[in-house]
A and B are shown apart, each in its own frame.
Chain A
């Protein structure tokens, strides 16, 4: 144990000296988070909107006005049927349509359920989330206004919701919202850090000739590997916390599920990446090679895991590749827990796949590692 701690301490001392690497460990997650995060947020305001008002009442005009005031919707025209909405969206004139059915105003006045529809162009997923979210909260606020008003008039509250806006997403029923990116970043950053820095940390010892010194010392293989890796596990969790924290503060990424569950399940994902980093370190002869191998691995991870492009949209062979990437499964877990509030039984399937990948990687890398050191 003392030897293991000695190795971990040494690793931290070296890390502290290596300002660049240390800076990268904190800088990469924050930079990527802001990049991706703000990329999501650009242009969600002033979405070109058409209105299909079948009611032409004071109330319908009031609703449109309230929507415009939020700043998210710019009314660019009025249409008179659903076909026109489709045409407007296809040629890119508008991304949103507000549909107000006949008798909307009367329903509101009578206090029965009034409904309006918000049609959103899902082929531009970045707009979907904010378009629907804004409309929904606006609807709720409007409804509250109305019930307060009625409460003042009649002295009794409404039994039913006086107004509901029903968002419908067209062209992309499997709604992929941009808010998915931030939890996904947790997985991407962990892959980068765990893989690259582990592979490089071990190759560096070989490159500089210090590994040989350690082999003839009483430090065992397990002590050496675990000792070197522990600091990086800690760093991995720090990065994860950083991303989730900044994501929440800056981009209001929700956390629906259990944080301890997420941290616990992340350990398997971290371990899988560390094992892979070890495996790379047995192949690479120089730190540069280790770096290149890491990038070679990270690129398909970003493209095929579902981080950037939806899994469902990939051709079948790409989906097979996607299945063997640890990131694919971790992304589903992290999105499930943060965004959907998934519980363990709900992500167990993905978790088990992650475990299988981990076992395979551990076996592979320990076989290679034994050979190379012996």
Chain B
């Protein structure tokens, strides 16, 4: 971190990790700049946690190189640990200790003590609005509050880089919003954040994104870029006999995905010049009347599902050829 702003906080090249015969992570390269909120998206088992563990220096890569906050992930894991915060999908506080005791413990293991520690704890407690509940046993907090206390504890030593591994799994929507406000506040103070999630609405709140699937990076960019890159067009269609209609549309060429949202079908197409013409003609052929047609905005979820589908189709055909 010789010159902040010029050196990327995370820089990984061709990172790979194998467990036995299984490649958990294969050839992942990514760069994260200072102050960014960088989201890593992928289904369970895609290799998100493995990637984070390698970047933290607690898991040796089978191949590739990387530097985190200016230190080599393979050789300088101790220095990296000093300069990162880390919070897992599982609640990582001690449930039988108070909020304040938890913070005191984490501050101490990062080498803080005395006045500095006390002031910092007060500051963090004020920020998250828990000053009056500092003596409460952490285990008695609600799920959303636990996550926010955990987040505050993992940033108590003001790390330049924060890793969040599915921090909001199982937390209700309102608490997730609060949590993300907190993440943005932390990022505004100059901390770089790398967060994994499989909530697509959260993905849209990141500055930049990486899609990871089966251990491989499928795309990186800002949420808008990632969506545009995929070239999807989305139509919102209301029709009769929606079940049959969806069935027919899924078979039509160029249709990637049909989803029901109440009475409305969301139809995503790719490489189709006139989606409206296509959809109307497919439904007309089956005598299904279209009651309403509206162009929608493709989102991160559409792009992600489309990419995963394509990847799976390629694999399936590959396996088919092998069998034949």
Contact = CB atoms under 8 A, between A and B. Distances in A.
Interface of A: 2-3, 5-7, 9-10, 13-14, 17-18, 208-210, 212-219, 374
Given A2-B108, A3-B109, A216-B56, A18 B88 contact: no
Contacts of A216: 56, 58, 81, 84, 86, 163
18 contacts: A2-B108, A2-B113, A9-B105, A10-B94, A13-B97, A14-B96, A17-B137, A208-B90, A208-B91, A210-B92, A212-B92, A213-B86, A216-B163, A217-B86, A217-B109, A218-B110, A218-B111, A374-B58
A6 B108 contact: yes
Interface residues of B, number: 28
A3 B95 contact: no
Nearest to B106: A217
A5 B96 CA distance: 19
B81 A218 contact: yes
B97 A14 contact: yes
Interface in B26-70: 56, 58
Contacts of A14: 94, 96-97
Given A216-B56, A216-B81, A217-B81, A6 B109 contact: yes
B108 A3 contact: yes
A3 B113 CA distance: 10
A7 to B, nearest CB: 7
A336 to B, nearest CB: 42
A10 B95 CA distance: 12
Contact of B96 (A2, A18, A213, A218): A18
Nearest to B90: A209
Contact of A212 (B88, B106, B111): B88
A213 B108 contact: no
Interface string B70-83: 00000000100110
B58 A209 contact: no
Contacts of B92: 209-210, 212-213
Contacts of B202: none
Given A10-B97, A13-B97, A17-B97, A219 B109 contact: yes
A213 B88 contact: yes
A213 B94 CA distance: 11
A251 to B, nearest CB: 37
Contacts of A217: 81, 86, 106, 109-110
Contacts of A6: 105, 108-109
B210 interface: no
Contacts of A17: 96-97, 137
Given A14-B94, A18-B96, A216-B86, 12 more contacts: A2-B108, A2-B113, A3-B108, A17-B96, A209-B90, A210-B94, A212-B92, A213-B86, A215-B58, A216-B56, A217-B110, A218-B82
Interface string B211-255: 000000000000000000000000000000000000000000000
Interface in B105-139: 105-106, 108-111, 113, 137
A210 B81 CA distance: 16
Contacts of B96: 14, 17-18
B75 to A, nearest CB: 15
Contact of A209 (B82, B91, B111): B91
B301 interface: no
A18 B87 CA distance: 25
A3 B106 CA distance: 9
B203 interface: no
B101 interface: yes
B84 to A, nearest CB: 7
Nearest to B107: A6
A147 B148 CA distance: 86
A9 B97 CA distance: 11
Interface in B123-176: 137, 154, 163
A2 B82 CA distance: 14
Contacts of B88: 209, 212-213
A292 B125 CA distance: 41
B1 to A, nearest CB: 17
A212 B89 CA distance: 11
Contacts of B110: 217-218
Nearest to A205: B94
Contacts of B90: 208-209, 212
A297 to B, nearest CB: 27
Nearest to A211: B92
Q: Among B78, B81, B109, which residue has the most Cβ atoms of chain A within 10 A?
A: B109
B93 interface: yes
Contacts of B91: 208-209
B87 to A, nearest CB: 8
B86 A3 contact: no
A9 B90 CA distance: 23
6 closest A-B pairs by CB: A6-B108, A209-B90, A216-B86, A213-B92, A17-B96, A10-B105
Nearest to B153: A213
Nearest to B93: A210
A216 to B, nearest CB: 4
A218 B77 CA distance: 9
Contacts of B82: 218
A14 B101 CA distance: 10
Nearest to B165: A212
Nearest to A6: B108
